[in-house]
Amino acid sequence: MKVKEESIPLRFGCDDHWHWDCNDKSNEVVMYGPDLVTAHFHPKWSNGTAAVRGTRIVNRCSARFYWEIEISDRIFGTSMMFGVATKSARLHADSFVNIVGEDQHSFGLSHKGLLWHNGRWQSYTRPFRENESTTVGLLYDSREGTLSYFKDRIFLGIAFTGLNLIDDDLYPIISSTAAKTEMTVSNMRREYYNLQDRCRDVILRSVQNRSDVMLLKLPMVMEKYLRNVSIDDDDDGHHHHHRNQHNSRHRLLRQQQQQQQQRKSMAISGSSGDQQQSKESSSSSSSMTHFHHSLYSSSSSSSSSSCADSRNHWNNRYNHSKTPFLEL
């Protein structure tokens, strides 16, 4: 079935340019192609878990990023994962594990439909069909601090929240325990993060290649800006300062909410023992992982309703398409 162009997230943004990092991977990962967009896992056999990070930093500026992982028909094994991670997340294990999300440094979805973070998991969607190629889309919103997933262009809902509170740089990451599996990153898109960036994209699309910018005979500063399409190197200090301010506001708001919750709990509790228990409960809840809890209510009916509401939220706010909700 041909997918309509209107169903592509961030279709009003611009193309993004990044690839898998050949210097930031497990030895069991081999890159293919001149663009380094295809990762081949365990070329001979597998006796562990291998991962590779991408070159794009997704939380350095206030924008949304989208990319798709095209998975070959060899979908099987303990875990094939897709998500985001900091540089502190490990990329190899001599055992079969869910490596993306095993600690606080990464967030991932496995092909078995489970979300992983900080060693904990939550059910998110149905397991992928084995030995059937599929495409997984990831949407990272640095303003809202959310990570959402798509499967074959169908929105699955918000998976993780609170990622905007992470100070370390976050990178796309994939992993696999299965031998001779391939994943290719494609359809990389990003939002324009200011009018200047939009103007640059219009100019670059009007020339045949980047070297033609020199023929425009512009001032050196403007020429350098036009030829530099990587936002990671552009106004680096400004983006870090903006993100730190943004994160500080969110931390302050979260601390205020936790303090209000503690005061309410202490007011309800009559004894000091109850107060201590309320404090411990609040502390425990505040240290929980960044799962989007509205997707995981106790009853199955309310859970499916939350998933449907989340998908409708995407259609109404971001995509404006009439793609119906499908249960995968």
> pLDDT tens, 243-278?
555 556 656 666 666 677 777 777 776 555 544 544
Q: If we measure between CA atoms, which residue out of 56, 59, 76, 52 comes closest to residue 67?
A: 56
Residues 38 and 102 occupy one common structural domain? yes
- Domain span at residue 203? 195-227
> Please, where are the H alpha helices in the chain?
195-206, 220-227, 236-268, 272-286, 300-314
- Do 182 and 200 fall within a single domain? no
Quickly list DSSP for 238-267.
Answer: HHHHHHHHHHHHHHHHHHHHHHHHHHHHHH
In a domain, 312, yes or no: no
Averaged over 61-89, what is the pLDDT? 93
Query: Looking at per-residue confidence, does 216 or 144 come out higher?
Result: 144
Is there a single domain that holds both residue 203 and residue 111? no
Both 84 and 135 in one domain: the answer is yes
How many other CB atoms sit within 10 Å of the CB of residue 167?
10
Cα separation, 24 vs 268, whole angstroms: 52
Residue 66 has pLDDT above 90, yes or no: yes
In-domain check, residue 110: yes
- Residue 255: the pLDDT is 67
Are 203 and 119 within one domain? no
- Model confidence band, residue 322 (pLDDT cutoffs 50, 70, 90): very low
Structure confidence at residue 163 (pLDDT): 95
pLDDT of 97 above 50: yes
Model confidence at 327: pLDDT above 70: no
Q: How many independent structural domains does the chain possess?
A: 2
More confident call, 99 vs 61: 99
pTM comes to 0.72
Angle at 114 (CA atoms; ends 108, 118), nearest 5 degrees:
50
Tell me, what's the pLDDT at 87?
Answer: 97
- The mean-pLDDT minimum among 23-27, 95-99, 224-228, 311-315 falls in 311-315
Write out the two tokens for 224.
């350098």
**Percent of the chain at pLDDT exceeding 70:** 70
